[in-house]
Each structure stands twice: as C-alpha cells, then as structure tokens.
Structure 1
Amino acid sequence: MMRKILTVCLGNYCRSPFAQVALTRRYGAAVTVRSAGLIGKWQDQPAHPSMINAARRLGLDLTHHRGRQITVGDLDWADDVLAMDTAVLDTLRAIDGGHTTHKLRLYLPGRDIPDPTGQGEDTFKECAMLIEAGTALHTAGRRQPSG
C-alpha cells in the first residue's frame, strides 16, 4: 500500500517543500508526498530562493514548487502528517479537533527543524541537510512512533 505523507511548516516556503522532494527521492513510488503551510502568505509562490539553491546542491529540484495553505482535506488525505517544529505541531492539533491526531508528529522525533527564513545561505544549507538526513527515519510502509 502506498503511504501518503504530508509535510507541514509555517508558510510552505522553505522546510516542508524541501522535505517533500527529499522524501519523494528516498522512497519513490512507495509514497505520495505533499506539502503545505499553516499560513497562506506564500500561496502559489515558488519556494524561497535560498532553499531552491540548497536543494540544488543536494541534487534536488524545488523549482516547480508552489506554496499552498493546509486544508482539513489534507489532514484527512494523509497517512502521516509531519510537522517541522513543535509550534506547527501544536497548531495542527488545534486545527485537527482530535479527528486525525494519531497521524500528527514531528518530522524529527523530539527535535524542531528551525525555520531558516530571514537567515543566510549557510542556515538554509544546514536546514536542508538536517531534513535530508531525517528522511531515513520515515519508512514507506509503516508508521513510526510518535515523537
């Protein structure tokens, strides 16, 4: 059975789009990965230029990404909803109303992936490398423990 994974950050501008392409590369046809943001500030906009560059350095293409705001339908669609930080996770739990709480967890168990927005190129590169390393924690066929 194909896993459906949703990655979520604040704006769907840096972290969650990168996680989407990184997880897709790692698991290929075994998963369908989507990304979304809590806010619509970057709706229909490309990913942050510095994250596009960081992705390129790691052999990933973010140039086709367009930002989107999360919907309740996204939460229903996904088998796993991976929040990039605790604040995003808490907001997802509030939005969720208890219907899909079992699907919600941090992308990295027990650890936030800091938002690189407003930082320099090196911060984006570090963020991308952390997300890329974290892809190994997510298996295509079964749920990982909550974190």
Structure 2
Amino acid sequence: MRKLLTVCLGNYCRSPFAQVALTRRGGTAVTVRSAGLIGKWQDQPANPSMINAARRLGLDLTHHRGRQITMEDLEWADDVLAMDAAVLDTLRAIDDGHNAHKLSLYLPGRDVPDPMGQDESTFNACSVVIEAGTALYTGRRRQQSG
C-alpha cells in the first residue's frame, strides 16, 4: 500500500481536499493523510467553501480536522506532495535530509493555487484541478488492475 501525505499552508483547503480525492481514486491501494505547515486551523473543520466544492464532486470533507505536519508524518509517507512551491521550499527547510527524495509538488512543475479568501468559483476550480491530479498517483495502479 502506498502512503501519500498532502501538505498545504494550513490544512484547511487544498491538502484536505486532495486527501479525500486521492483516497477515493486510489481505493485500497493507497493510504492518504494531510497536514499543514502552520497550526492555525488545528482541530478545525475544513474551509466551508472547500467543503461545498468537495460536495459538488461527490466527496465528503465534513469529518476533516486540521493538523500541523510533524517529522513523523514525513517519515511515514512514501510521497510527500506539496500544493505549491512555497510549501515545498518550507518542507525542504524543515526536513533533516532523510526525506528529500519523497518531497515533490502535487502537480509536477505547477502550483495548485490557494483559493483562500476567494469566491466559491475559485474553490470549485481548485477542487477540479486537484481531482484531475489524482490520476498522477493512482492511475497506473488502476490501469494495471483493470
């Protein structure tokens, strides 16, 4: 089973959505966790606009509670997927070097724009981008098993 960790700034919008989207797409082939760099939304639900965007795509984010990343999270994961280059740079700075090979952008060469503070349509667009990206991490396994 492949272990994926999605990371954004606060574990409030992008990474929680990526967690549920990757879990649905990957099924039993993956275990997915999410975390944020900061603890501002620790133990808080996901952003209401992201919950709505998830619902539109048939995903349930209502059970999510924010959490801040730990070194144990980095050790646990096979792949650590940063939502943007700034998050990736911070992960590289806090990593002790043992996990550098695991760190990458969720979308190779491209940021997933942060919808925080934007309107509902921006959250919807963000969720579609993240959902499309799930194929990068689960597609091969799906094709091989199908």
TM > 0.5 between the two? yes
1:128, CA displacement in angstroms?
A: 0.2
Larger helix proportion of the pair = 2
1:137, CA displacement in angstroms?
A: 0.8
What is the CA–CA distance in structure 2 between the aligned matches of 1:47 and 1:55, rounded to whole Å?
A: 10
1:90 is matched with which residue?
89
Structure 2: which amino acid aligns with 1:72?
M
Structure 2: which amino acid aligns with 1:37?
G
Q: CA RMSD in A?
A: 1.2
Map 1:1-147 → 2, pairs under 5 A: 2-139=1-138
What is the CA–CA distance in structure 2 between the aligned matches of 1:141 and 1:89, rounded to whole Å?
A: 25
List alignment gaps of at least 5 residues for structure 1. 143-147
List alignment gaps of at least 5 residues for structure 2. 142-146
- Cα distance change, pair 141–75 in 1 and its aligned pair in 2 (3 A): farther
Structure 2: which amino acid aligns with 1:106?
L
What is the TM-score when the length of structure 2 is the normalising length?
0.94
What is the TM-score when the length of structure 1 is the normalising length?
0.94
1:139, CA displacement in angstroms?
A: 3.1
What is the CA–CA distance in structure 1 between the aligned matches of 2:97 and 2:67, rounded to whole Å?
A: 23
1:91, CA displacement in angstroms?
A: 0.2
1:98, CA displacement in angstroms?
A: 1.0
What is the CA–CA distance in structure 2 between the aligned matches of 1:3 and 1:85, rounded to whole Å?
A: 22
What is the CA–CA distance in structure 2 between the aligned matches of 1:16 and 1:101, rounded to whole Å?
A: 19
SS at the partner of 1:46? Answer: coil
Contact 1:3 1:141 in 2 (8 A): no
